[in-house]
Structures are given as C-alpha cells and as structure tokens.
C-alpha cells in the first residue's frame, strides 16, 4: 500500500480547533512537509507566566495554553497505530531546547533514530504518544499526529473515525519543547517511514495586517497565527 501513487492534490481538514501558532511549516531541513502547531498568546507566550518565567522555570503542563486541547481527525478513515502511555514532563524552555538540540546533533541519537526507522522499532521516545490514521478516500495516505497528552488517545487500532472527530489531546510527550501537535501525511502506515507527501488544508483563517482572512486549499507559513473555521454547510 505504501507504493500507491497520489495523483491528485490532497486536501485535508485542519486537525485542531481554535487559534494556533505555526512553529514549523514543512520547509525546514529534516522536517520537510511536516507541521508543528503550538498555542501562544499575542505576546508569543505558551503560558500565562512571564516570558522570563517560561524561559527559566518549569511551568506545570496544565498551565500551558495548548495542553489538553482537542486533536481531530483530518479525514474519514481507520486507525492503524495508536500509541499511548509515554510520560510527559515539564521543563524550562531553555532546558527543553538544549535537550532537543543535543538529541538532534548527537551522533548516538541520530544512529538510534536511524535504526528505529530501518527496523520499524518504537519511536515513542521521539514522537511520544501518537496516532496514524489511514484515509478512507485516498488510497495510500496516512496521517501522523504526535506528542499527544498521556492517556488522551481515544480510538484503538482498527477503529473507524470520522472527519473532525476528536481522537486525542495536545500534549508534551516524546521529544517536545512545549505542548504542541506534530502533523504530516505519509504514504506508508509506519511512523518510521520517511515517505511524507504534500497536502493542503481545506479551510482555515490566518491573521494578516490586523484581520482574519479565510484561506482555502492552502498551507500556513512559519510564525503565522491561524485558526480553524467550520466547514461550510
């Protein structure tokens, strides 16, 4: 199934509700075609604490603006992977960033990830609690959603899901600087696959020049504020 060709533009629903900040837009090396969404306030703070407090102090996870927010299925499909039980921990931003960068550049960590990718091993240390959903309408298309809150994964392997159905909650499991959702599409059911595929979101709004503007069949850019909008009646 991983060899199936996607011949038409893939349009999926935005997998979150409410307003979000685009932390990665799929253009970064090593993060191609993958998105990270984090909830920040207008001062770009992930919590209601001061920026200095966030930077230097471990803030309880329940005080993060995005933690526990619903993650929804981007399309109708079937769950093929549902991994839960990986723990979460609160760290200062500077500590979490240091650990993340160290893991990125560490030869041993890179080798470990490459081994997991080659053997199909558990990537929970990196992805945390995660889901893979197979599209019912597009053959060979799988959505990967990572870093969910511990205990929040709702469906089980084999369960059908509807578009916009809640499947988990935003969390901070795995290799995560702050509670966020990692999202991409791939042509193979294994999260270890590097066969990511391009797509666009059906509808969302982006905040530009002081106003919200509707975007259809588009993708947001890094550092943009975006928000979900209901599907047209």
pLDDT at residue 118, as a whole number: 52
pLDDT at residue 3, as a whole number: 42
Query: 124 and 86 in contact (C-beta within 8 Å)?
Result: yes
Block residue for tokens 């920040």: 40
- Tell me which CATH code domain 11-227 carries: 2.70.70.10
Of 165, 126, 141, nearest to 2 (Cα)?
141
Q: Give the start-to-end residue ranges of the domains of the chain.
A: 11-227
Token pair recorded at residue 104: 């990125």
Average pLDDT along the chain, 233 residues, taken 10 residues at a time: 54 97 90 94 87 76 95 98 92 64 52 51 82 96 97 98 98 92 94 84 97 97 96 71
pLDDT at residue 31, as a whole number: 82
pLDDT at residue 111, as a whole number: 54
Query: 174 and 128 in contact (C-beta within 8 Å)?
Result: yes
pLDDT at residue 194, as a whole number: 64
Q: How far is CA 56 from CA 52, 53, 102, in A?
A: 6, 5, 18
């Amino acid at each position: 199934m991983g060899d199936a060709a996607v011949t038409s533009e893939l349009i999926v629903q935005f997998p979150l509700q409410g307003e979000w900040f685009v932390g990665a837009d799929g253009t970064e090396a090593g993060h191609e075609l993958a998105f990270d969404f984090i909830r920040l306030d207008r001062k770009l703070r992930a919590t209601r604490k001061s920026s200095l407090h966030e930077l230097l102090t471990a803030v309880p996870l329940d005080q993060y603006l995005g933690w526990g927010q619903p993650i929804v299925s981007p399309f109708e499909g079937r769950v093929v992977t549902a991994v839960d039980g990986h723990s979460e921990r609160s760290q200062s931003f500077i500590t979490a960033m240091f650990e993340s960068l160290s893991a990125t550049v560490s030869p041993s960590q890179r080798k470990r990830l490459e081994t997991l990718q080659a053997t199909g091993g558990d990537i929970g240390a990196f992805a945390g609690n995660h889901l893979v959903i197979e599209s019912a309408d597009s053959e060979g298309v799988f959505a990967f959603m990572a870093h969910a809150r511990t205990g929040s994964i709702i469906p089980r392997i084999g369960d059908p899901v509807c578009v916009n159905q809640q499947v988990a909650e935003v969390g901070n499991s795995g290799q995560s600087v702050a509670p966020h959702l990692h999202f991409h599409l791939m042509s193979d059911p294994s999260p270890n696959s590097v066969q990511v595929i391009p797509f666009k979101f059906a509808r969302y709004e982006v905040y530009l020049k002081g106003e919200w503007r509707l975007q259809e069949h588009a993708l947001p850019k890094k550092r943009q504020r975006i928000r979900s909008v209901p599907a047209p009646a």
